[in-house]
A and B are shown apart, each in its own frame.
Chain A
Amino acid sequence: MTGHFHPYHLVDQSPWPLTAAIGAFGLTAGLVKGFHNSNFNLCFIGLFIIILTMFQWWRDVSREGTLQGLHTNAVEFGLRWGMILFILSEVLFFFSFFWAFFHSSLSPTIELGSCWPPVGVDAFNPFQVPLLNTAVLLASGVTVTWAHHSLIESNFNETSYALLLTVMLGIYFTILQVFEYYQAPFSIADSVYGSTFFVATGFHGLHVIIGTTFLLICLFRHTLNHFSSNHHFGFEAAAWYWHFVDVVWLFLFVSIYWWGSCLFSM
């Protein structure tokens, strides 16, 4: 009995699910503990373990796919559906924040002054930095498509340039958001306006950082010749994720920054 009789990837024993569980438990328990006594050491240890786990687990996946050739057509099909379902779960995650926002903003309570933004909340002008951020993310959507087409055309150098440009636009967006947060005249504790604003835009910012990291890893893998013109799902998954982050921003911009800053009262 020699040869392969099925296209599936039967994975090897791995310590990473266990270390991921330990890290996730440390992260959540440490976060709760930190909220109680302002000491976030356990939280950072958990975060550190999670980051180490992510690096090594996905390094293993890259090796299995690229260097060991274990990602057949059937395996790639599973990876695609895994990514689609993951992004769908992320859509639902953000849907809940928009629900909270519209629940509170469409019929503002008397405690808020029956108006939105609430009395005393000085909202951002959506046509300053937020509009620039919209342009930056839309431009990054163009450059990531440029990178993808270069990859399909087997153009090594243009793939590198376009991917680098995309990562730089992602970093630029994050920097702009940090400045915006720094200058905000309201905080997360300023009524449900501050809560919904910072939870929604904050989680979006976290996703931008994750998406930028994902694209940066793709850039590193590309320089190591991990991708071919017809097999580069790691890149495609990063691009899908990036487009998702982009679309969430458009909804944030239109709903929370723009519509949410135009004063109306009941």
Chain B
Amino acid sequence: MAATLISRNSMSLVRRSVIISAIRTKGTMPSGADHATGLEKKELLAKAAGNENPFDMRVIKRNAGTKDTPNQIPSIFDKRLVGCICEEEATCVTWMWLYKGEPRRCECGHWFKLVEAKGL
């Protein structure tokens, strides 16, 4: 029993080192997205495709923000807290809750609308 286990384990170890050494004999290594996996790889591929902000981490630049073309605020929830810098010289941020399906106007006149975040 023990002997079977030992031989099985050592055989799998031998196989593994053969696979690794096959890569090793090339003498070069994969880089970037070829080496990465998971979320790291998704991020690298998004950046390679020209998306420098794949996780929506940056401050959202406001557009004209009329009633017909409101600022689109992505969220994974039913509401999101929005801070509007109403004008360039503003000394404070104006905060308001923005709810799904209820476009809202900041006191400065700019419109905002909650949209579903796409994510990476």
Binding site for B on A (CB under 8 A): 1-7, 67-74, 151, 154-157, 223-225, 227-231
In angstroms, Cα B30 to Cα A227, docked, is 9
Determine if A156 and B38 form an interchain contact, defined as CB atoms under 8 angstroms apart: no
Determine if B32 and A71 form an interchain contact, defined as CB atoms under 8 angstroms apart: no
Chain B nearest Cβ from A163, distance in angstroms = 13
In the assembled complex, 13 residue pairs joining A and B whose CB atoms fall closer than 8 Å, in A order, are A1-B119, A2-B119, A3-B119, A5-B119, A5-B120, A6-B55, A7-B57, A69-B41, A156-B24, A156-B29, A229-B29, A229-B32, A231-B40
Residues from chain A with a CB closer than 8 A to the CB of B26 are 156
Determine if B28 and A156 form an interchain contact, defined as CB atoms under 8 angstroms apart: yes
Residue of A nearest to B29 (CB): A154
Determine if B35 and A231 form an interchain contact, defined as CB atoms under 8 angstroms apart: yes
Determine if B32 and A228 form an interchain contact, defined as CB atoms under 8 angstroms apart: yes
Residue of B nearest to A8 (CB): B55
New A-B contacts (7) at CB < 8 Å, excluding given A7-B55, A7-B57, A229-B29: A1-B119, A5-B120, A6-B55, A69-B39, A151-B29, A157-B27, A225-B35
Residues from chain B with a CB closer than 8 A to the CB of A67 are 37
Residues from chain B with a CB closer than 8 A to the CB of A156 are 24, 26-29
Residue of B nearest to A69 (CB): B38
In angstroms, Cα B57 to Cα A78, docked, is 16
Determine if A1 and B76 form an interchain contact, defined as CB atoms under 8 angstroms apart: yes
In angstroms, Cα B33 to Cα A73, docked, is 13
In angstroms, Cα B118 to Cα A209, docked, is 48
